[in-house]
Copies of this chain bind each other. A is one copy, B any other.
Amino acid sequence: MRAGKEAEAVAAAESDRAKPTRRRMTSSTGRPRSEEAHQAILDATLALLAEVGFSALTVEGVAQRAGVGKATIYRRWSSKLPLVVEAFGALPGFEDVDAGSLEQDLKETLKKYLEAFNTTALGTVFPSLAGERAHNPELSKMIEPVARARREPFVRIFERARQRGEIADDVDLGLAADLVLGPISVTLFFRGGVLSPRMVDPIVDLALSGISKRN
């Protein structure tokens, strides 16, 4: 479940973790860093992010929850920002689903989407970080590729559908993805509502066929 596909992709963008890692390579002596502590810190970060949100999250709180000293955290991450970004990037990603038709692809992928939002910290962490972006450009920049990656599977689904001839050539694939994801986003942000897998089929049906009456 943990550590989705884009986790590695994100690692490349983590200038912060790279630095201490490189420094360690210079001197291979001394006590090695505990991998358990590393994982415990990331887990605690996600849990607290879900509970109290980004701005109320403190390094001290993470240390307490993870059962480590604060210094252990600051030795690896310069501040809570890169720590949060890495923890968020480690949340599960989404694999491509190719069920043969546009409709089935969308429905299956969306259901996996909602399940992930409901069963992991994603459902609470994502809105919190999204809300923070408006006031924190640095966080916004670091989160951007991770957020974009979560929309990518849908763009690919529509690319395949176009190749199959299921949609017209002039349809904006990005807009199509936004149209399908939209009601989820509205439910999550505008209404703070529950994401039920039952909402998937009506969304896809309506988005594909359109709202207007067909003549």
Q: Which residues of A contact B (CB under 8 A)?
A: 50-56, 102, 123-124, 127-135, 140, 143-144, 147-148, 150-151, 158, 165-168, 171-172, 175-176, 178-192, 202-203, 206-214
Contact = CB atoms under 8 A, between A and B. Distances in A.
User: 7 tightest A-B contacts by CB?
Assistant: A182-B182, A131-B131, A210-B210, A178-B183, A185-B185, A55-B55, A130-B189
Q: Which of A55, A168, A203 has the most CB atoms of chain B within a 10 A radius of its CB?
A: A55
A214 B213 CA distance: 12
Given A135-B124, A183-B179, A191-B148, A212 B209 contact: yes
A64 to B, nearest CB: 18
A192 B135 contact: no
Nearest to A173: B211
